[in-house]
Amino acid sequence: MVRKSRKTSPDTEEMTVVDKTKAALHRRKTKLKLSVINIMLTVVQGSEMDFGKTYNFSQHSIRIGRDKKNTIQLDDLKVSKQHCEISVIKTNDLEQIVVKDLGSTNGTYVNNELIRQRILSSGDKITIGETVFRFNYNDEIEEEYHSKLFNFAAVDALTGLYNRRYILSELEKQRKIAKRNDRVFSIVVIDIDDFKQVNDTFGHHAGDEYLKQVAFIIKHSLREQDISGRLGGEEFLILLPETNLDGAFHLANRIRKRIEETGLIYQNNTINATISAGVSQYKLGTTDTAASTISSTDQLFKQADGALYMAKNSGKNKVVKAKI
């Protein structure tokens, strides 16, 4: 039996090309859908403490504005309370990312152009007040890169808390928020007692391990909205939004007791140390005169530092409130 060879007709060849084109388009759409799962906004211009910060989201939309209820809150008077929204929009099985201005006072810009609504492309720059975000589809390598970049700039390498530069910038930000919204705000300055003796007795490596342990206790004693950082050496700073002086005092005492009761086991030795702390509150008094006594970040910090000095000079291992 002779088997006839199958010839390809022009129509079949044309269908093959169409099928390939459809398959390629399908792969492209599928890839876009997968990319949309993680959308990345990176701060490329703005306040020093926000620079390099990355926001990833996978929900259908996020809102950006000055109000704390927004997904991304910007402390900037040029930003409206509800400034703009970024949404995932489905059209004919194709997902697109759209930014929409929400009637803001100063407008939303994409690549320096004022917009009401715009489909975003990877690499677009969104300007909201003084902050500029770069929009990108995310992947694991890029996410890790930006995370490491931000940590390098803002995080203390030894303790994992924020570094001095970042925490002091955040202190000023929180003070401004408290002033603008007439809200209470307190800080705690902590210093490890006789830390030099730990280094001299057990070595600097043991001292580093003890600093890590103190930082761990501080971090895990705080609420989600509280912020902690290492000022340098054995000194730490805690920022407590919407917390009065008594609340900050009780928190500092809980941290002090936990550190006193927790010994560090190092090379078959137990290292026990204590801390002293000073606590201060923005707007200590209820009258305008009393409130004006703490009207700047420097004054707020000096009040807490002075209380810490009193704790050190009155026997250590204690917390002292700043005096009005």
Would you give the distance in Å from CA 275 to the centre of its chain?
Answer: 27
- Beta partners for residue 89, in sequence order: 96
How far, in Å, are 53, 54, 106, 176, 279 from residue 169 at the CA level?
14, 18, 25, 11, 19
Would you give the distance in Å from CA 92 to the centre of its chain?
Answer: 37
Would you give the distance in Å from CA 320 to the centre of its chain?
Answer: 29
Does residue 142 carry a catalytic annotation? Answer: no
Distance CA(148)–CA(153), nearest Å, equals 9
Tally Cβ neighbours within 10 Å of residue 119: 12
How far, in Å, are 4, 81, 138, 175, 216 from residue 249 at the CA level?
94, 33, 43, 18, 19
Q: Which residues of 41-61 are buried (b: 16+ CB within 10 A; e: fewer)?
A: bbbeebbebbbbbbeebeeee
The residue from 234, 235, 242, 261 that is catalytic is 234
Residues in the chain: 324
Q: Is the Cα torsion angle 67, 73, 75, 78 positive or negative in sign?
A: negative
Task: Give the residue numbers marked as catalytic.
Answer: 234
